[in-house]
Structure 1
Amino acid sequence: MQFLDAAEHTGTHPWAALDLAEIPDATVRLHWTDAPYRWHVNDGDEAFVVLDGAVDMHYKHGGEVMVERLTPGRICIAEAGDEHVAHPVGAARILVVEQRGSV
């Protein structure tokens, strides 16, 4: 798993991009939720950006469950095979970019 702060991204020139993940045949979804999802593993990479609210991202690292608090502008990149589950803190809106057909 990778966690980034969008506000920290700068470039050497205007429109400098940071490639986060390559996702063939991707979907881009705006989710609203006030309840946890379920533990799952995506078939491909997933970019998860909290736009409003806060989300505790639970993930497994070396067999141990870790938690990272995501707030607006904080980005989570879940790579294929990363087991994770999102727990919103109240209501949240989340932008998710993932491979079409992922769970």
Structure 2
Amino acid sequence: MATVIRSSNFTADKAWGAQQIANMNGITTRLHWTDKPYKWHVNEGEEVFVVLQGQVEMKYRSDGEEHSALLKSGDVFYAAIGTEHVAHPHGEARVLVVEAEGSV
């Protein structure tokens, strides 16, 4: 079966609401809609975060220092295991997230 998802049409009832796209042997791919920041967290595994629409300021901590990167449409953020991070959208954003099933 094939599926076409028009990410620009996706909205959710709450910030960080998601549409499950696939689960491939425990690795999930989800489309998120948000207009509010997430929370500081560390994933149990690696995470790939792709901004499809909008802008997201990704803050992350490395070697005890806080860093920030402004991600625009088409930009990708990779969080290795143990990377503490938080996403702050600037207005509405749609984000594709690939991570281990059950990650925060």
TM-score tier (shorter): 0.7 to 0.9
Where do 1:13-52 residues align within 5 Å? 25-52=26-53
Q: Does 1:95 align with 2:96?
A: yes
Aligned counterparts of 1:38 and 1:51: Cα–Cα separation in 2: 20
The residue that corresponds to 1:83 in the other structure is 84
TM-superposed CA distance for 1:99, in Å, is 0.2
Aligned counterparts of 2:45 and 2:25: Cα–Cα separation in 1: 9
Q: Does structure 2 conserve the Cα–Cα contact (< 8 Å) formed by 1:58 and 1:67?
A: yes
Amino acid at match of 1:26: I
Q: Does structure 2 conserve the Cα–Cα contact (< 8 Å) formed by 1:24 and 1:99?
A: no
Q: Does structure 2 conserve the Cα–Cα contact (< 8 Å) formed by 1:46 and 1:98?
A: yes
Aligned counterparts of 2:86 and 2:47: Cα–Cα separation in 1: 12
Q: Which has the higher contact order (CA 8 A, sep 6+)?
A: 1
Where does structure 1 lack aligned partners over 5 or more consecutive residues? 1-22
The CA deviation string for residues 39-88 of structure 1, in whole angstroms up to 9 with x for no partner, is 00000010000000000000001211110010011101101100000000
Aligned counterparts of 2:66 and 2:80: Cα–Cα separation in 1: 16
The residue that corresponds to 1:56 in the other structure is 57
Aligned residues: 81
Aligned counterparts of 2:80 and 2:65: Cα–Cα separation in 1: 17
Q: Percent identity?
A: 56
CA RMSD of aligned residues (A): 1.2
TM-score, structure 2 length as denominator?
A: 0.75
Where does structure 2 lack aligned partners over 5 or more consecutive residues? 1-23
Aligned counterparts of 1:81 and 1:24: Cα–Cα separation in 2: 22
